[in-house]
Amino acid sequence: MTTVPEDTTPQSATVPWRSTTVQVVLASTFLAPLGVPLISPALPVVRDQFGITDATASLLISVYFLTGIVLSPLIGMLADRVGRRRVLVVSLFAFSLSGGALAFVGSFDLLLAIRLVQGTAAAGIFIATVTLIGDAFSDVQRNAVLGVNNAMLSAGAAAYPLVGGALVAVAWNAPFLAYFAGLPVAVFAFLTLEEPVTDREPRRLVYIRNALSTLSGRSTAVYFGSAFATEVLLFGSVLTALPFLLTAQYGLSPVGIGLVVTAAEVVSIVVSSQNGRLARSLSNRLLVAGGFASFGIGLVGTWLAPTALFVGVAVTFVGAGLGLSMPSVDAAISGLVSDRYRAGALSIRNSTTFLGRSLGPVLFAGLALTTGYRPLLLGAGLAAFAWSLVVLLATR
């Protein structure tokens, strides 16, 4: 199934909602947050169920991203050579079926093994969806669609902690049954998505060499570093350290934790949806730098917060930072490469984000054994401010 890319107006900041590409991508992206935000509020319950430590429980998040770190470039190469549609459809089916199977596992080791498989499928979803947007849209409209895509990601991430918190109150493994909801999305993509026409590089060694050559330059390194830093901060602080802090210091239930995480995601939805409008007057460089400054305000705010309510207010700044930075990072990277190597370039971006997502939970949970969670959040906030300056200075 092949078609010409969407007919778009490059300088328009509107989103073509009737586009089949947009519909499939947004449906797939809404499914993607089932991977972690659904599980995050359940970490303390899973810890108690298997009699493990906080750091060991956090592996449920970390291992999800391990195979994606290594295999994302291969998935990107496949998407460039065999098509974005095939990669997305297969990934959606694999993600849903492996995730649902987790509900029937009684061993933590086997739970981790299946999460590796599911994480590989998740990498395919992330790479294919962002690449499809890069293929079909350009300029400010690309920012607009990527912003809405990130808003959809945040919408799922806002809803799923509440769903996960409610389900884990029924049974420790109940949240995993929610993954079967992805099967209708996979069928929808199979039936409606058309493959965009792009130039394909048939020779593997030439592809790898040329794809890497498109990623040279200081600005490119900064944008990839920004993707990595965003995920370390988000998954290490908000989705790992914060649930344990809120449980230990404020006695919040899983539902209460879900509400705090949701506060950040709701703000991310609003800010992400306006990325296209912001891109009319601000460069991607300024949007990314502003995102990290907002991260810093939010994380330092959680350190200062005297109550759980103030923590909830502070993390909204983290949500705003996410909405500013990630669509702008993807738009910048998409604009730096041709469609022939776009999936490859974005797959490397996916490797850096998966590395950050994998490293963040273990890093924060491990450091917290020495520092405690509150000082750790202060350090993370200061690091975010520092990276904001790096973006401003290194991409001039």
pLDDT at position 313 is 92
CA pair distance 79, 129, nearest whole angstrom: 11
User: At 191, which helix (H) or strand (E)?
Assistant: helix 182-192
For 103-148, the pLDDT digits (tens) are: 898 889 999 999 999 989 998 998 888 888 887 777 777 888 888 8
Question: Is 57 a domain residue?
Answer: yes
Domain with 202, as residue range(s), is 18-394
CA pair distance 229, 356, nearest whole angstrom: 7
CA pair distance 354, 230, nearest whole angstrom: 11
Taking every pair of C-alpha atoms in the chain, what is the biggest distance, in angstroms? 59
pLDDT band at 81 (very low <50, low <70, confident <90, very high): confident
Q: What is the mean pLDDT of residues 51-66?
A: 82
CA pair distance 249, 247, nearest whole angstrom: 6
Phi, psi dihedral angles at 338 (to 5 degrees)? -80, 165
pLDDT at position 10 is 45
Min mean pLDDT across 39-48, 126-135, 338-347 is at 338-347
Residue 357's Cα: distance from chain center in Å?
A: 8
Question: Is 164 a domain residue?
Answer: yes
Per the structure, how many domains does the chain have? 1
Q: What is the mean pLDDT of residues 292-303?
A: 95
Percent of the chain with pLDDT over 70: 90
For 156-184, the pLDDT digits (tens) are: 877 887 788 889 888 888 989 999 989 99
DSSP β-ladder status, 195-196 and 2-3: parallel
Report residue 154 as tokens: 């945040």
Could you tell me which of 263, 236, 260, 373 has the C-alpha nearest to residue 320? 263
Question: Is 230 a domain residue?
Answer: yes
Highest averaged pLDDT of the listed ranges 31-45, 52-66, 357-371: 357-371
| Residue 197 · residue 3 · CB < 8 Å | yes
CA pair distance 143, 363, nearest whole angstrom: 32
For 272-293, the pLDDT digits (tens) are: 888 888 888 888 889 999 999 9
Percent of the chain with pLDDT over 90: 25
pLDDT at 271 over 50: yes
Q: Length of the chain, please? A: 396
Question: Is 214 a domain residue?
Answer: yes
Question: Is 11 a domain residue?
Answer: no
Question: Is 61 a domain residue?
Answer: yes
Q: How far apart are the first and last CA of the chain?
A: 42
DSSP character string of 315-350: HHHHHHHHHHHHHHHHHHHHHHS-TTTHHHHHHHHH
Question: Is 9 a domain residue?
Answer: no
Neighbours of 359 (CB within 10 A): 18
pLDDT at position 6 is 44
342-371 vs 373-394: helix crossing angle, rounded to 10: 140
Token match 């929610």: residue? 178
Q: Where are any strands of DSSP class E within the chain?
A: 2-3, 195-196
> pTM of the predicted model, to two decimals?
0.71
pLDDT at position 4 is 39
CA pair distance 31, 182, nearest whole angstrom: 6
Question: Is 156 a domain residue?
Answer: yes
Please report, for the domain that includes residue 199, its CATH number. Answer: 1.20.1250.20
How far is the CA of 355 from the CAs of 63, 120, 161, 229, in angstroms? 10, 13, 22, 10
pLDDT at 12 over 90: no
Token match 């939970």: residue? 361
